[in-house]
Structure 1
């Protein structure tokens, strides 16, 4: 006899539906800061042109995003607790800082700028806050962020570039243990200019660039395996 499925919770279903209804997929005007170092030019070409449908929203996925935002706000409040001045709102818009580079084709939202850090009280720092599960956190603390989380390093660098600042603070909390990891990062102008030039080149192409892997099913083609545009010719 087949097992009787567990009863459906209409309360949970309603919560999930509410989160899905409130979800938004952003806009199609640029490449996200978190994606600019993706190794495949073709994937970025397709992403910029929205050639693949965005990943469908689910209640659980949206709550994970929301939980990340809660942790990130806590980290900024912790900086205030130790006497830092933390600026996370653009006074000209009354909203979170929005950053655009490469003619607006690279886009992102900067977490904050802070001064008063114990290591360099007078130096303004771009602040990038993240939360991570225990496994990811343990990898991150081995550092530097340039190697352990290159996508986060790219975000910090491009925000520093856009704001004309020379120092960044990478601040991560372990969601399992509440441990905190901090790393100060120095601005790398050559790195930033290379990324901007790459995105400008990809955006200007008339046809898709070469694939990263000729056979996306072969061993080692991890980027292809999880690419949202894998089915696009």
Structure 2
């Protein structure tokens, strides 16, 4: 009788061939990520995070308790791919959105506080379809996010300020700091586009400039930078290591080993 092979058989280690292939993929992703230089500045996309100490750890490139898993890195990459595809969809629908500054070829962004506070925007919207004129004003910030179904629905139901305050801070900072480079961008509502990763539904929200929110976030950034440079460890968001926020923090163990 001919010999047959079960190519999907479980190995002696308990792994299927699928497990082995995925491990190879994830190992390669983790190795590639480990070679990338971390950012040595506060990012506008993070400043809405509620814990100042976590932002200190991020700013000082303190090692996370655990490196990003391969699955997490795949989620990050899928988000970037969806952002690019969504930009293409909008372009095809008659929007004109630049993701890079034509003068420099670089991604649009800003740098403040001697480079210690930076942000990189997804795009600048320069033109909208005729059916949206003159209600929609340009130039305007374009920001794109991809979310799972539950998170996406909450954003649709509650709006960005309530559902995703981190995004709201990010957009407000972009509108404030990009005004010098793109005059008028703070006067026009930004366009937030959110893609449901589970269903491919798309939600769009126009976000007017919140100057007070931008100022509060900017002041907070200065406070964090000054405290860090002075060697001051800022307070934790909670006094309970098992609180919801602390349990999901990348620096939970590192933080709670600190005396203060």
TM-score of Structure 1 vs Structure 2, range by shorter chain: 0.7 to 0.9
Distance (whole Å) between structure 1 residues aligned to residue 27 and residue 53 of structure 2: 34
C-alpha deviations, 1:53-93, integer Å up to 9, x for none?
37513332222111111111121112211211111012344
Give the TM-score normalised by structure 2: 0.79
The corresponding residue for 2:237 is 212
User: Which contiguous aligned blocks of 4+ residues in structure 1 show a shift greater than 6 angstroms?
Assistant: none
Contact 2:155 / 2:163 at 8 angstroms: preserved in 1?
Answer: yes
Deviation readout 1:101-134 (Å, 9 max, x if unpaired): 3432222321001133325454211000011111
Structure-2 separation of matches of 1:190 and 1:21: 42
Alignment RMSD (CA, Å): 2.3
CA contact (8 A) 2:191 2:204 kept: yes
Structure 1 residue runs of 5 or longer lacking an equivalent are none
The count of residues paired between Structure 1 and Structure 2 equals 228
Query: What secondary structure, in the 3-state scheme, does the structure 2 residue paired with 1:96 have?
Result: coil
- Compute the displacement of 1:177 (Å): 1.4
For residues 2-44 of structure 1, give each alpha carbon's deviation from its aligned partner in whole angstroms, at most 9, with x where no partner exists.
x962334443333223222322554342122222122222222
**Residue 76, structure 1, aligned to residue 91, structure 2:** no
Structure 2: gaps (5+ residues): 1-10, 180-184
CA contact (8 A) 2:91 2:97 kept: yes
| Residue 187 of structure 1: aligned partner | 209
Q: Distance in 2 between matches of 1:74 and 1:28?
A: 26
Taking the aligned partners of 2:55 and 2:162, their CA distance within structure 1 comes to 21
Report the secondary structure of 1:21's partner residue: helix
Q: Which is higher, the Rg of structure 1 or of structure 2?
A: 2
Work out which of the residue numbers 122, 139, 155 in structure 1 matches 2:154. 139
Selected match of 2:100 from 71, 84, 89: 89
Of 145-154 and 19-28, the range deviating more from structure 2: 19-28
Give the TM-score taking structure 1 as reference length.
Answer: 0.87
Tell me what 1:39 maps to.
50
Q: Which of 118, 122, 127 matches 2:142? A: 127
CA distance 1:191–1:26, shift in 2 (3 Å) = farther
